[in-house]
Structure 1
Amino acid sequence: MKGYGSQSTKYRLGLLYSFKKEWLNSYTETPRNIEWIWYKRYLESSLRGVDLEKSVGISLRLNNFWDKIREHFSFEKDIEVYVSESHMLSYHIAIKNECEEVYSLDTHADLGYGGISSVSFKLNCANWMGKLLNEGRIKRAHIVYSHHTTEKPEDFKDFNKLFKVRYYNDIDALPNGIYTAAIHICRSGAWTPPWLDDEFFKFVNNLNLPYKVVKLYRRKWDIRKTQLSDLLYYLNFS
């Protein structure tokens, strides 16, 4: 296993030019939260004189992302690559591949929020990593935060006391040669707008590996052809 054992790596495409802290709430992956909510956000921003399509875009940090990944991660031959909406799938990928460690490159740790009791809740996109640790499925979790996270390691004191969790602020802080059995790429549509979906798949395809798409909702975005009745509905739903 080359020292580290079998490991699963995932990354969320969510590096934005203009990060909106008001979008940091937790959301389930439903059409309401990954598509309709963007019409509401767009309309609310328009009322404030802000064109959301122009103010939220892709970070230049993505240009050499996969080169950086290959500097630090050693991919297994015929490695399995998954693309999905929710990070929750990582729980099942880690178990399937008998992973001992998981590296998560994300804005959120997904250990569970509200203390250790959160791992007792039903499996979801916010507690899958904590569940893997609590159930003894993995031995160690590595959290590589994106540059716009608002989380801090001390936010997870309960987990840090009970489990082996390491936190990093940059990919370059990782060692080289991390043996990797699977890769999971998440869109996380509640935080990644639909007008960037084409860019998301460019990002996925730049990995230059075959991949399996799992439960990824196809979003439609055409704000200029949306009927007035629909716009009013999107603006007023909560």
Structure 2
Amino acid sequence: MRLLAVDFDYFFPLPQDPGHPEAFLYAWAHFETPYYREAAWEERALAFLLRGLPLPQAQGWEGFWERFTFAPGARLYYADSNALAFHPQVREGVEEVVLYDAHHDAGYRPLGEEPACDDWMVHYARQGARLRVFYPPWRDPALEPEPQVPLAREVDPGGRVEGPFHRVFLCRSGAWVPPWADAAFFAFLAAASLPKVPLEPVAPRAWDLEGLRRRVAEEALGLWIMDALRRSP
């Protein structure tokens, strides 16, 4: 049984060079809590808009599913958190996991008893599954710590992928991917021609872009002063 796991943050590129002039705008903390899935994104968006920069968008998801072959009866399970990639309905009988993700999810800290979004691959390793992760072309794998279990890692070369896959898991990763990318996520979900099973409620998040634009007009002067102070010796 082969599982194809896809984290939508694969399609949300971030600057990899700390010297990139906009890298500080992406210096985001990430925790899977309601605040980081929702409220935190307002201030993050405001940082771009106040500087006259477009909001970063999900890219490259169109046509992704066409790269794969799916076995008869395959289903797509989806959730917001990648921790649910080890849900009982997903993990049963899985002997190989092929992950497309900006992170290897094979342990970054002391492991808990229950799977979390950053260590669920370890739990697959414990049940004897073979593991492979493909990073997006924009991601530098050298920026990740070594996984805590054997895991083949490489940058996605593109093109058709050998199959078939018997099961698919997709997560939105709302603490990593902003609400203004939700329309792209749901279009990506709809584009998969497989029966779909939600493992937790996943709905478009509330998002008031016009309200943020009104705040931009009110706060532009303050930002100019802060930026001037930050650049001064």
The answer, yes or no, to whether TM exceeds 0.5 is yes
Structure 2 residue 139 is matched with structure 1 residue 149: yes
**TM norm structure 2:** 0.75
Q: Does the Cα contact within 8 Å between 1:26 and 1:126 map onto a contact in 2?
A: no
Change (3 A) 1:150 1:216: farther
TM-score, scaled relative to structure 1: 0.74
Cα distance change, pair 171–150 in 1 and its aligned pair in 2 (3 A): closer
Does the aligned pair in 1 maintain the 2:90–2:169 contact within 8 Å?
no
1:130 aligns with 2:130: no
- Deviation, structure 1 residue 63: 2.4
What secondary structure, in the 3-state scheme, does the structure 2 residue paired with 1:88 have? helix
Matched, 1:36 2:39: yes
Alignment check: 8 A CA contact 1:13 1:192 kept: yes
CA distance in 2, matches of 1:108, 1:90: 14
* Counterpart mapping for 1:33-182 below 5 A: 33-47=36-50, 49-51=51-53, 54-59=54-59, 61-68=60-67, 70=68, 74-93=69-88, 96-114=91-109, 118-120=110-112, 122-133=114-125, 135=126, 137-152=127-142, 155-156=145-146, 158-159=148-149, 163=150, 165-172=151-158, 176=162, 178-182=163-167
8 Å contact from structure 1 (residues 8, 94) kept in 2:
no
* Deviation at residue 147 of structure 1 after TM alignment: 1.9
- Aligned equivalents of 1:40, 1:201: Cα separation in 2: 24
- Gap runs ≥5 in structure 2: 16-22, 220-233
Q: Per the alignment, in what secondary structure is the counterpart of residue 86 of structure 2?
A: helix
- Residue type matched to 1:7 in 2? R
Letter in 1 for 2:171: C
* 1:27 paired to 2:31: yes
The 3 A distance-change label for structure 1 pair 175 and 18 is: closer
Match of 1:220 among 194, 201, 206: 206
* CA distance in 2 between partners of 1:86 and 1:75 (Å): 23
Superposition CA RMSD, Å: 3.0
Deviation at 1:101, TM superposition (A): 1.0
Identity across the alignment (%): 23
Amino acid at match of 2:106: L
Unaligned stretches of 5+ in structure 1?
1-5, 233-238
1:220 aligned counterpart, secondary structure = coil
Matched pairs, number: 206
- The verdict on how the C-alpha distance between 1:42 and 1:119 changes in structure 2, with shifts beyond 3 A counting, is same
Q: Give the counterpart letter for 2:63 in structure 1.
A: N
1:109 partner SS: coil
